[in-house]
Structure 1
Amino acid sequence: MKDIASIHDVAPGGTLLLDDGLLLIRDLDGDFHVTEDRCPHVGWSLRTGTLHEDAVIECPLHHGLWNLRSGDPVRYPARVPMKIHRVEVRGETVWLVD
């Protein structure tokens, strides 16, 4: 496990670019998720993607949607699942589990 951020580093609906091209995302409910900062469709950065209810992120280029809990595509042109890394919050620290 690796500590990657404080819970105060990312407000709900925000993102934080991490080392190794990973992106920490705090969904609208306040839950944390980590994925690569690249859309599985064409590799566009997700840092400025729009967050929707139910932990869904929208790519800013072609507007595909993915579920941040499962990585499953939600709306075309998203067809390929995104890799979601497990995280845990302990106290005020966000930990990358895998």
Structure 2
Amino acid sequence: MVRIFVCKKGSLGEGETIKLEKAPIAVVNSGGSLYAVGDRCSHGNASMSEGYVEDDGTIECPLHSARFCLKTGAALCQPATVPLATYPVVTDGDRIFVDFSGVLL
């Protein structure tokens, strides 16, 4: 199993995002669920970890306002048309990880 440590449980508050240091991934707490998506907007060179987490389970790019579904990575509006990559988030005790098992890097 290939995993990257994100943070301890409870360290990432509602609506907060953290960018992983070891991979271009943003981990988001939205609605009490954790999501991991590619950190670079598929439309422009903007960090999704600096984006705006919405109450409807989406994240908005801080550069051109493209919105993406946190669950599927789907691009929901222009100017983005290409989805963000998504990755499983797992917990092990009080630690949170992004799981890269089965992902071609």
Shorter-chain TM-score tier:
0.7 to 0.9
Superposition CA RMSD, Å? 1.5
When the two structures are superposed, what TM-score results if normalisation uses the length of structure 1? 0.87
- Runs of 4+ in structure 1 over 3 Å off: none
The AA in structure 2 aligned to 1:21 is: P
When the two structures are superposed, what TM-score results if normalisation uses the length of structure 2? 0.82
1:86 is matched with 88
1:20 is matched with 23
- Listed as ranges, the gaps of 5+ residues in structure 1 are none
Give deviations 1:50-81, integer Å, cap 9, x for gaps.
11123100001110100010011111112101
- The alignment status of 1:40 with 2:70, answered yes or no, reads no
Instruction: Tell me which moved more, 62-71 or 87-96.
Output: 87-96
Retained in 1: the 8 A contact 2:27–2:49?
no
> Identity, % of aligned pairs?
26
Q: How far apart are the structure 1 equivalents of 2:24 and 2:72?
A: 19
